[in-house]
Amino acid sequence: MSQDTSTADPLVIFTPSGKRGRVPAGTPVLQAARQLGVDLDSVCGGRGICSKCQITPGYGEFAKHGVTVHEDALSEWNAVEARYDRVRGLATGRRLGCQAQILRDVVIDVPPESQVHKQVVRKAASARAITMDPATKLYFVEVTEPDMHEPSGDLERLAAALEAQWDLPGATADLSLLAKLQPALRKGGWKVSVAVFRDHTAAAPRILDIWPGLHEGGLYGLAIDLGSTTIAGHLCDLVTGEVLASAGLMNPQIRFGEDLMSRVSYVMMNPGGDAEMTRAVREAMARLAEDLAGDAGIDPGLIVEATLVCNPVMHHLFLGLDPTELGQAPFALVSSSAQALGARDVGLATINPRARLYTLPLIAGHVGADAAAVSLSEAPEASEDLVLIVDVGTNAEILLGDKTRVLACSSPTGPAFEGAQISSGQRAAPGAIEKLEIDPVTRAPRFRVIGCDLWSDEAGFAEATAQTGITGICGSGIIEAVAEMRMAGVLDASGLIGSAEQTGTARCVPDGRTHSYLIWDGSAEGGPRITVTQGDIRAIQLAKAALYAGARLLMDERGVETVDRVVLAGAFGAHISPKHAMVLGMIPDVPLDKVASAGNAAGTGARIALCNRAARAQIEGDVQAITKVETAIAPKFQEHFVAANALPHASDPFPHLSSVVTLPEVSFNTGGDGAGGGRRRRRRS
């Protein structure tokens, strides 16, 4: 008789994919990953030689996942892991997935370097003309030689030269700079180049570095967008403003929780959890800085400045501040002001030891420096017409305004737009479906995957994707898939997927008490079966409803029913068509030509603040004038949220959308068994 292991078998949850399942106790992590379709590399056949399958287990209470992970969740180190660590070294907390066995419920993070299909970071730098006036500049000075008859220190004479020759009075220097001072002055024959930091405040100039003679190696800065899911960085020339390199990596905090409140809960339930997350994100950011310098072929020591934008929870965790108060009303910040810090004091140890870090101000307890950066980039306060700016990620930042008034809020959309919590979802990587169309007559899909410009029904597609395969569906793909399903009539306005008989296509397959839509079946060749399930539809509905409800709250505050134009910011804005966004009801109805993409607006705002010190003063003033709307306590949020669950909306008209798209009037809620918006069936006793 087969044993029922539905409750006895350990539950394993993989991040960042969000895939989960139960496996028999003693199952190696690598085997569990393969069974669940998790992207975990291995080339040595599980012999502990290649190290490609390194993973990081998370311990403690994970309220988001409903599990508590104990220290004995994985088997103890074995001889293979000990030998590998002795010979080649394993980072603290890492295990080899082919050796570690799952014994109890566990949350396991697959780091980027262990993923077969490396993530494509889509937060690229957008082209933008910026008036260059960075806080750190290079100055060439001639210093008076020492004289016994006029005793003074070399630093004092360097400071006097800066004042006389460059009008920089009262320059100071850290102790570590003083150790370089005398050798540089003498080697340069009393002619030196100095990097001097002077920001928009009245603080005295600060000497960050010194070189003998004329330094021609350049000065560089980092603009960093620290997101809940992705950390994106841009390495900029502080003279020209040119972006020399852009890169990104997954935020390692995702293993503690996919959304912000999950991470706050982790801190509440696990003493020392905040320090654990602070350490993880600082190490990742230091590694990103080093990688960017390597990509650009520059000495990391020439990176003398950085700017940082992020949401309030990320802000607090990065700075080493307890975010607990942000998890409950009144959502009190430790500080909302901009911060000017030593980069090394917050873990950026891979750049110049005296580099400075500037964090943009926060707007409110749930509206962060990333929203301030979007405001700096898109300038809603200068708009003649009423503009809605939406920066969608795991947490959506929303701005609404014009010359008369600007409002802001954030809305907890969750990770579904990033491809997480989706049955076949994955991060953006080669092989992931990113665009999709469904024929309205045959209901057959055609799609494109990242890394290939051909559509799936075009000649040469199979050959072009042979190496990457078709591995899953990323955020932009799932959004287009759901919208296309609605336009093709396989999904009704309530979000219910019809049966094969109701829709006329065998691609609508039974899936428990509901149905799924089959996009791709690669099982015959050992590949995945990619479907959109009723649960996927529900996840997208919840995310888009939260987004739309946030926008509606701002419109209510302004007393308007429509906006003049919409700006989509972030990776979402660059990769989703306005039509698909509007079919889902993610954004209010406007003419499609009034919907524009701003690219990575938060990253652009960080670059503006890096390259122009006056912009720092501007945004510090602007955030004081922004009206903050708190979605978590707004009485009408739930009302807007419920109505926005329909596709596109239960009551708000979409006349501009109707002029370009005719949505089929279908309803599949015949038995009340739809999880996507129909009535719930009463549970039988």
pLDDT digits (tens, 9 = 90+) for 469-504: 998 998 889 999 999 999 999 999 999 999 999 999
- Token representation of residue 520: 């791709």
Domain assignment present for 521: no
Count of structural domains within the chain: 4
Q: Going by DSSP bridges, is the β-strand pair 136-142/172-173 parallel, antiparallel, or unpaired?
A: unpaired
Burial class (CB in 10 A: 0-12, 13-18, 19+), 179: exposed
- Classify the phi-psi angles of 488: left when phi > 0, otherwise alpha if psi is within -120 to 50, otherwise beta: alpha
Domain boundary among 151, 177, 212: 212
Q: Which tens digits make up the pLDDT trace of 206-262?
A: 999 999 999 988 999 999 999 888 899 999 999 999 999 999 888 889 888 878 888
Sole residue written with tokens 């539905």: 6
Amino acid at 508: C
**Single pTM value for the model:** 0.83
Q: How many residues make up the chain in this entry?
A: 685
- CATH number for the domain including 296? 3.30.420.480
- What is residue 35's predicted lDDT score, i.e. its pLDDT? 86
Of 526 and 368, more confident: 368
Q: Give residues with Cβ within 8 angstroms of 214, minimum separation 6.
A: 140, 191, 193
Burial class (CB in 10 A: 0-12, 13-18, 19+), 143: buried
List the beta bridge partners of residue 358: 307, 340
Rounded distance, CA 197 to CA 96, Å? 45
- CATH number for the domain including 387? 3.30.420
User: What is the span of the domain harbouring residue 166?
Assistant: 136-212
CA 227 to chain centre: 4
- How far from 302 is each of 85, 290, 297, 353, 615, CA to CA, in Å? 34, 11, 11, 10, 23
- What is residue 426's predicted lDDT score, i.e. its pLDDT? 79
Q: Say if residue 334 is in the same domain as residue 398.
A: no
Q: Say if residue 325 is in the same domain as residue 390.
A: no
Beta strands, E only, 481-574? 508-511, 514-521, 529-532, 565-569
Q: Say if residue 325 is in the same domain as residue 248.
A: yes
Sole residue written with tokens 């959309």: 413
Q: Which tens digits make up the pLDDT trace of 556-602?
A: 999 999 999 999 987 666 678 889 999 999 999 999 999 998 888 99
Q: Say if residue 43 is in the same domain as residue 189.
A: no
Q: Say if residue 290 is in the same domain as residue 411.
A: no
Rounded distance, CA 453 to CA 464, Å? 9
Amino acid at 386: L
Amino acid at 569: A
Rounded distance, CA 97 to CA 38, Å? 12
Q: Say if residue 237 is in the same domain as residue 175.
A: no
Domain assignment present for 354: yes
Q: Say if residue 229 is in the same domain as residue 355.
A: yes
Sole residue written with tokens 């999904």: 491
Q: Which tens digits make up the pLDDT trace of 72-126?
A: 999 999 999 988 888 888 888 899 999 999 999 999 998 877 876 655 555 555 5
Rounded distance, CA 4 to CA 416, Å? 32
Domain assignment present for 74: yes
Compute how many other C-beta atoms are within 10 angstroms of the C-beta atom of residue 536: 24
Domain boundary among 159, 183, 212: 212
Q: Say if residue 406 is in the same domain as residue 551.
A: yes
